Chains A and B, each alone.
Chain A
Amino acid sequence: MWFISVFGAFEAGIIYALMALGVYLSFRILDFPDLTVDGSFVTGGAVAAISIVNGVPPVLATFYAFVAGFIAGSITGILNTKGKINPLLSGILMMIALYSINIRIMGKSNVALLNEPTIFKQIEGFWGSLGIDTVLNNMVSALGADNLPGTWSVVIIMIIITLVIKFLTDYFLKTEVGLALRATGDNEKMIRSFSANTDILTIIGLGISNALVALSGALIAQYGGFTDIGMGIGMIVIGLASVIIGEALFGTKTIARTTLAVIGGAIVYRIVLVLALKVDFLESSDTKLITAVIVIAALITPKIITARKESVRKKKKRAMLARGEGANNA
């Protein structure tokens, strides 16, 4: 029973991880609290869904979603840099504008994809002929799980897609442009004095960030079989939760480590959420409350642990001095 729940959470988590990577780019790399995410996630889903319904091949439809997200993010960047509007407000304005735009794109407040082709259905078709599912299911049932997943194709393909995007992101952040982008979030005055156009970098950075968010939205729509205007509500908090949980659990020593941590954070968040909802008195409407509690825990726990370690260290030192030894290396 537990296996299939965790499996499902992992599956969704790794799709949401792309959104979390986007949030990491804006929130951490650019130091820009970008609320566009709540809107651009739906934009991704809406563009992909309406394209598929109109006969566009799913892969191309997903690419359209990516581009739409890039445009949405760029506009937030333009509002902030050229319009000199405060970052938070630029994001909020774009988010609220996207709400109407998303309904325009879909023509109504939701689009169903149940009888349409999706990336995942296409892969599943090909995957089924390989017979890998049986092998993996046999392995898992040998470990004692009884309720087995219908297909492994989604998990496997998403692991590949997410890792490819992670490595591309890592590489990009080490290029000359990438370094300048990071410096824009770190010390804008400094990088401008080294001839970097920080306005353009902010616009591009937010564009890429929201492109990833929209990509995630497009994949979630195809995974769930529908797009709904409300599917983006609170998305920024979920993204932040993933970033914060990931950083707390897996560390931030290097860029490559941090992007992996963010992906891990997105998966852990889903699993914790699913397990929490298994508690009897919690209902699915409590999801947002649970999210808030998870984020608070992820923010506070590391501080408590550090404070604990410090006090233990100091106690040891004092004890050592009291015994009259170690005075030299005190």
Chain B
Amino acid sequence: MLNMKDISVTFNEGTLDEKKALQNVNLHLEKGDFVTVIGSNGAGKSTLMNMISGSLKPDIGSVSINNKDVTILPEYKRSRYIGRVFQDPMAGTAPTMTIEENLAMAYARNKKRTLKIGVSKKRKATFKNHLETLHLGLENRLNAKVGLLSGGERQALSLLMATFTEPNILLLDEHTAALDPSRAELITNLTGEVVNQFGLTTLMVTHNMQQALDLGNRLIMMDKGQIILEVSGEEKKSLTIEKLLQEFQRIRGQQMDSDRAVLG
């Protein structure tokens, strides 16, 4: 479904601030894969997401979705295939527009926008049904401006908007990080539900190790612009936070040793 080949990108090349954000990254996702991505700040997780969404382009390498090369496709064209939820609950919705209008915009993601009314009667009923699955009572507030909703409600709506048109790929960029623990749990559960319901191919960045272990069938760990660990299937199920940290120490330790060898 998603294929990233030899992706490298460097920011501010040739200056003191040069940063190799991604180095020879290869990633392949089968249809229905749910991959969680962990790693420290600056590891390249967000850059990886932006490479897929198209808001950044690689220096070298290619990205293809559904066997179609999308490397040079601009973001707005690529988003026909991609649903995305951002970390900031304010980022995924239009605050001065109503809930139904926001859903209508999301509904048009993989269609051509026309001069027909966006919120038709028929669609309203569909939107209502979808909102009911969130169990937040939003189905009774179709005409409320989204800016009036709480952070948790907005993020739940963003999640629904990104998923109900069944995108080929769903990108979740630390989408629970800005919420309080109980809201974060709610969104985490909702995420599991919708991904299962639609069988979405998903990539989720998170700082919460437990979340990375609970969700998904694959896990990758990134560091310094590289994928340093990949776990999947049964192995992932038996993984614990402790093991993960040990593994990280082991790989990082080795890397430091080899660095020392080079420098020594």
Interface residues of A (CB under 8 A from B): 171-172, 174-180, 182-183, 186-187, 189-198
Contact = CB atoms under 8 A, between A and B. Distances in A.
Interface string B80-120: 10101010001111111100010011101110011111110
B104 A176 contact: yes
B121 to A, nearest CB: 13
A179 B103 CA distance: 10
A258 to B, nearest CB: 11
Main secondary structure of the interface of A (DSSP, over half): helix
Contact of A177 (B90, B101, B109, B115): B115
A187 B94 contact: yes
**Which are the 6 A-B pairs with shortest beta-carbon distances?**
A186-B94, A176-B113, A195-B79, A179-B118, A183-B94, A194-B109
Contacts of A174: 117-119
B6 interface: no
A224 B203 CA distance: 63
A203 to B, nearest CB: 14
Contact of B91 (A172, A178, A187): A187
B53 A193 contact: yes
B31 interface: no
Scoring B97, B113, B161 by chain A CB atoms within 10 A of each residue's CB, the highest score goes to B113
B141 interface: no
Interface residues of B, number: 33
A174 B105 CA distance: 11
A186 B97 contact: yes
B75 A192 contact: yes
A323 to B, nearest CB: 33
A177 B114 contact: yes
Given A176-B113, A195-B79, 15 more contacts: A174-B118, A175-B114, A178-B118, A182-B94, A182-B96, A183-B94, A183-B97, A187-B90, A187-B91, A189-B86, A189-B91, A193-B75, A195-B76, A196-B76, A196-B108
26 contacts: A174-B117, A174-B119, A175-B114, A175-B115, A175-B118, A176-B116, A176-B117, A176-B118, A177-B114, A179-B108, A180-B108, A182-B96, A187-B91, A187-B93, A187-B95, A189-B86, A189-B91, A190-B93, A192-B75, A192-B76, A193-B79, A193-B84, A193-B162, A195-B79, A195-B109, A196-B113
A262 to B, nearest CB: 16
B237 interface: no
A182 B96 CA distance: 9
Contacts of B79: 192-195
Given A195-B109, A195-B110, A190 B115 contact: no
Contacts of A175: 114-118
A26 to B, nearest CB: 16
A298 B149 CA distance: 29
B112 to A, nearest CB: 9
Contact of B96 (A186, A189, A197): A186
Nearest to B104: A179
Interface string B30-66: 0000000000000000000000010000000000000
A182 B102 CA distance: 11
B114 A179 contact: no
A197 B79 CA distance: 10
A180 B106 CA distance: 10
Contact of B105 (A172, A191, A197, A198): A191
Contacts of B97: 179, 182-183, 186
Contacts of A182: 94, 96-97, 101
Contacts of A172: 115
B28 interface: no
B77 interface: yes
Given A194-B106, A195-B76, A180 B113 contact: yes
A176 B114 contact: yes
Nearest to A197: B76
Given A183-B105, A195-B80, A198-B76, A190 B91 contact: yes
Nearest to B165: A194
Nearest to B53: A193
Contacts of B86: 189
Contacts of B119: 174
